[in-house]
Structure 1
Amino acid sequence: MTSSIRFIPRLIVPDPDRASAFYHDVLGAEEVFRAPLGDDGRPSVVEHRIGGSPFRVSPAVSSWGWLSPSDLGGSAVLLEIEVDDPDAVGERMVEHGSEVLVPIENRPYGKRSGRIRDPFGHLWIITGDLR
């Protein structure tokens, strides 16, 4: 193995601009790169960073095999984010159109966490220290 490997998740969404604004507003994601897709001006990829963790969003393009959770009937991936205040992050996500699947509560495994589906169909575990 080489130490130059980076793992960068890419979330496929119907509207990368809307998703980028959502992730900025609710998670504080910083946009670090944007590449346009053809003449329509729609980005083919937008890279973000939350803390030291990068992730990307791209539009659903079925001919490329890039399908969003709504195209697939749901998401097969859970994204977990550890934050200082899971309740505040969860509330912001809901205020911006997310759906609570499992309420954020103290859990017997020593974390405060819950599960949320964002407006683009991606599933998030929001976790932090017990209160």
Structure 2
Amino acid sequence: MTKPQILPRLIVSEPDRASAYYRDFLGAEEVFRALGDDGRPTVVEHLLGATSFRVSPAVPAWGWLSPDDLGGSPVLLEIEVDDPDETGARMTDNGAETVVPIENRPYGKRSGRIRDPFGHLWIVTGEPR
């Protein structure tokens, strides 16, 4: 038996656009894509460092709802990077919104919270300046 692993799946209204955003502004590498009969992606898998995550379209009939469908995201995704300020700026310069500014925190990290253009919340964190 292989070791269990968690593969987060981000439900979005526009999987192609979301995949491009995560690739271009977070540095994720697309490693797998499955298309439905309509040519739209049903799942796009990304590798970000040693972590995989997937993006899929919202399908309300299956209970797959995007943060917009739910009125916000109930999940925080944390990404640890070398330069949180640069990553946060890249995200917000390209459609994301700052929820909590990136700054040095009393617990020894530099972090803040960003809502990406698809409604998912990211804690962007790294070493303090």
**How does the TM-score come out when normalised to structure 2?**
0.98
Give the superposition deviation at 1:110.
0.2
Q: What is the DSSP-based 3-state SS (H/G/I as helix, E as strand, rest coil) of the residue aligned with 1:19?
A: helix
Aligned-residue CA RMSD in angstroms?
Answer: 0.8
Structure 2 runs not aligned, ≥5 long:
none
Shift of 1:7: 0.8
Residue 3 (structure 1) shift: 5.2
| Gap regions ≥5 residues in structure 1 | none
Tell me if 1:16 matches 2:40: no
After TM superposition, what 4+ stretches of structure 1 lie above 4 angstroms from structure 2?
none
Classify the secondary structure of the residue corresponding to 1:89: helix
Aligned length: 129
Identity of aligned residues (%): 71
In structure 2, what is the equivalent of residue 30 of structure 1?
A: 29
Shift of 1:37: 1.5
The match for 1:62 is 60
State the secondary structure of the residue aligned to 1:92: helix
Letter in 1 for 2:14: D
Matches within 5 A, 1:89-128: 89-128=87-126
Give 1:126's aligned amino acid.
Answer: V
Tell me the residue number matched to 1:50. 48
